[in-house]
Structure 1
Amino acid sequence: MLRITDARTGEPVDAAPARRGLTRVVAHVTGHDTTALRVLLLADVLVRALELGGTPVWALLGGERRQPDLRATAAALGIRPFEDGGDTGAGLGAAQVIHVVGDSDAGLPGRGPGAGSGSRAEGGSGSVTAAGSDTERVADGRRASGGAHAADPEGAADRAPAFDTARSADTAPASSSAGAASHALAGVHFAVAPVASVAPVAPVRSAGPADAGMPGGADPAVVRLALLSRPRSEPVPLDADALRDAEDTLVRWRRAVAGWAREPSRAIPEEVRGELRAAWEDDLDVLGVLRVLRRVETSDLAAGARFETYAYADRLLGLELTRDVGSPA
Structure 2
Amino acid sequence: MAAQDGPSAYARSVLRIIDARTGEPVDAAPARRGLTRVEAHTEGFDVTALRILLVADLLVRALELGGTPVWALLDEERQQAELRAGAAALGIRPFEDGRDAASGLGEAQVLHVVREGGAEPDGVRVAVAPVHAEAPPDEADPAALRLALLSRRRSVPLQLDTAALADAHDTLVRWRGAVATWAQRPSRPIPDEVRAELRTAWEDDLDMPGVLGVLRWVETAPDLPDGARFETYAYADRLLGLDLAHDLGNPS
TM-score with structure 1 setting the length: 0.70
1:5-84 map, 5 Å: 5-64=18-77, 67-84=80-97
- Picking from 168, 184, 187, the partner of 1:262 is 184
Secondary structure at the aligned position of 1:47 is classed as helix
The answer to whether the 8 A contact 2:37-2:72 is kept is yes
Give the SS at the match of 2:41.
strand
Cα distance in 2 for partners of 1:65, 1:86 equals 12
How far is the alpha carbon of 1:186 from its aligned partner?
2.5
Q: Show the counterpart of 1:286.
A: 208
Match of 1:154 in 2: none
| CA offset digits 1:179-200 (Å, max 9, x no partner) | 2xxx2x3221000001022303
Partner of 1:192: 128
Q: In 1, are the aligned partners of 2:178 and 2:251 still within 8 Å (CA)?
A: no
Alignment correspondent of 2:7? none
What is the SS of the residue equivalent to 2:73? strand
Match of 1:100 in 2: 113
Query: Is the CA contact 2:42–2:49 (under 8 Å) kept in the aligned structure 1?
Result: yes
Instruction: Give the Cα separation in 2 of the matches to 1:32 and 1:10.
Output: 27
Amino acid at match of 2:242: L
Call closer, same or farther: CA 1:18–1:90 in 2, change over 3 Å: farther
1:286 corresponds to which letter in structure 2?
A: M
Kindly indicate whether the alpha-carbon contact (under 8 Å) linking 1:90 and 1:97 is maintained by their aligned counterparts in 2: no
CA distance, structure 2, for counterparts of residue 79 and residue 198 of structure 1: 23
The residue number in structure 1 matching 2:10 is: none
Equivalences for residues 145-184 of structure 1 within 5 A: 179=119, 183=120
For residues 265-286 of structure 1, give each alpha carbon's deviation from its aligned partner in whole angstroms, at most 9, with x where no partner exists: 1000111001000100011111
Indicate if the aligned counterparts of 1:90 and 1:186 stay in contact, CA closer than 8 A: no
| CA deviation after TM superposition for structure 1 residue 231, in Å | 1.2
Greater helix percent: which structure? 2
Aligned-pair Cα RMSD in Å: 1.5
Q: Aligned to 2:225, which of 302, 316, 319?
A: 302
Identical counterparts, % of pairs: 71
CA contact (8 A) 1:102 1:192 kept: yes
One-letter amino acid of the structure 1 residue matched with residue 165 of structure 2: L
Runs of 4+ in structure 1 deviating by more than 6 angstroms, as ranges, are 87-90
- Which amino acid letter does the alignment assign opposite residue 192 of structure 1? V
TM-score (norm 2): 0.91
SS of the equivalent of 1:12 reads: strand
What is the CA-CA distance between 1:73 and the residue it aligns to?
A: 1.3
CA positional deviation for 1:64: 1.3
Structure 1 residue 218: Cα displacement: 1.9
1:230-262: CA deviations, max 9, x gaps? 111111111101101101111111111111011
SS of the aligned residue for 2:74 comes to: strand
Displacement of 1:92 in angstroms is: 1.9
1:90 Cα deviation after fit: 7.6
Looking at structure 1, the residues matched to 136 and 87 of structure 2 have their Cα atoms a distance apart, in angstroms, of: 18
Give the total of aligned pairs.
238
Please, which of 232, 240, 244 is the counterpart of residue 166 of structure 2? 244
Letter in 2 for 1:188: V
Question: Any idea what SS the aligned residue of 1:63 has?
Answer: coil
- The Cα shift of 1:86 comes to 2.0
- Of 273, 276, 281, the residue aligned with 2:195 is 273
C-alpha distance in structure 2 between counterparts of 1:86 and 1:261, whole Å = 44
